[in-house]
Structure 1
């Protein structure tokens, strides 16, 4: 299917400390690719480099064959590559529908004019409802975001991301802090939306990684330790050692 996102020789140094060292990876189109590793492995730094919230010290990043190494996050979002954050980012005092509607206004290049009449903004409602339904929140569309459970807030965040019409989603620990029921719900959601999109995710929950991922890149101390499907990496001695070692450090 080809490569959606590729990094070659990606390196990030902070005042002499090398957080990510010569990382090269390729995320194939139409797949779910997970980035995992023990604490301190460099996952977050690598993810922030790939999503352009950090600039690399060295290396090159391409998206759909286009060099995005020096682009800003807003620029790559316009190219179709959009990320979520570990902390849910929604407007708590707006309804579910209004949150998604704001994303539609942004996508169409219109300002966030909250003083516009409800009638004017209603032209976005049908499309917003479609995205709300896509993440299973139709019965909550009139609820304030603050009233939602944590898992449903994450689903709402994904709905606002989908409103930007991304071809690729980058999810930062989508299951962080969730109860078991919410994990199952968001896992099913990710599997559903991945049918038409490419997904790269950082995730600590290895059962989720095993269930969802087509390919997994394991980082340790800022370098790639192993790569492959879950059956392959879960049996790799170096991966087992890295995780067990991290637990006892």
Structure 2
């Protein structure tokens, strides 16, 4: 098996003559945290949407575990073990945390919509649901309605529901966006914890989170890869500095 879980070749996306992503060759090493960063308009969200199959590429290929997924659907890649957090993580605000995770656990069983079943028939899922809540640090809140959670803890609950699919690869889009300092620290620690036995790809604006968590960072600018390496390497790259601070920021 290849060291790389995701490999793209010549990945390109054009919108009516505008090239948002241009010939991107990206390789994500198995078992690492890989961050995709760049100034506004760099193409990172488009690239992320291509990899997670929410957009179809104009040209190029995407391989996951050596398998060509260029024309696959989001549900197909989720079944293969590559899950984007919001694919299944829309929480039910008036269900408890335990109930939210239990609903997510029903998906692989094909019983997602069996809400009419007696609650007692779903109790078999409670042990696994509690284990997932423990994994994201939410055990103490298991009986609390999701609507009562802070923003950061809601994101942790979303990650717990995503982990219910037992993904090999977890894709996170701006996981700390809109959070205060305390919640950022809590979610960053959670990402590190859940990455212990899986691969994580994240798009993230917060460079302190990126520097703390990432094994590898790919910097995009104007739809192309500008630099790649560790945070120490890319932060000293003059092209990266210019892209963030100079004329390339526009």
In the alignment, the residues of structure 2 paired with residue 90 and residue 20 of structure 1 have an alpha-carbon distance, to the nearest angstrom, of: 32
Q: TM-score scaled by structure 2? A: 0.96
Structure 1 segment 218-233 matched on structure 2, within 5 A: 218-233=219-234
Q: CA deviation at 1:145?
A: 0.8
Partner of 1:198: 199
1:1-249 mapped onto 2 (5 Å cutoff): 2-85=3-86, 89-245=90-246, 249=250
Deviations, residues 95-148 of structure 1 (Å, cap 9, x unaligned): 111111111100122231222111011111111110011000001011111110
Q: Contact conserved, 2:242 with 2:248, CA < 8 A, in 1? A: no
Q: Distance in 2 between matches of 1:248 and 1:107?
A: 43
Runs of 4+ in structure 1 displaced over 4 angstroms? none
CA distance in 2 between counterparts of 1:30 and 1:198 reads 4
C-alpha contact (below 8 Å) 1:13/1:20 kept by paired residues: yes
Aligned residues: 248
> Normalized against structure 1, the TM-score is what?
0.97
Q: CA deviation at 1:85?
A: 3.7
Structure 2 gaps, min length 5: none
RMSD: 1.4
1:248 offset after TM fit, Å?
Answer: 6.4
In structure 2, what is the Cα distance between the partners aligned to 1:239 and 1:9? 22
Q: Deviations over 1:159-206 (max 9, x none)?
A: 001110000000000000011000000111111111100000000000
Partners of 1:180 and 1:225 in 2: CA distance: 29
Cα distance in 1 between the residues matched to 2:90 and 2:44: 20
- Which secondary structure does the structure 1 equivalent of 2:219 belong to? strand
Q: Give the Cα–Cα distance (whole angstroms) in 2 for the partners of residues 163 and 214 of structure 1.
A: 25
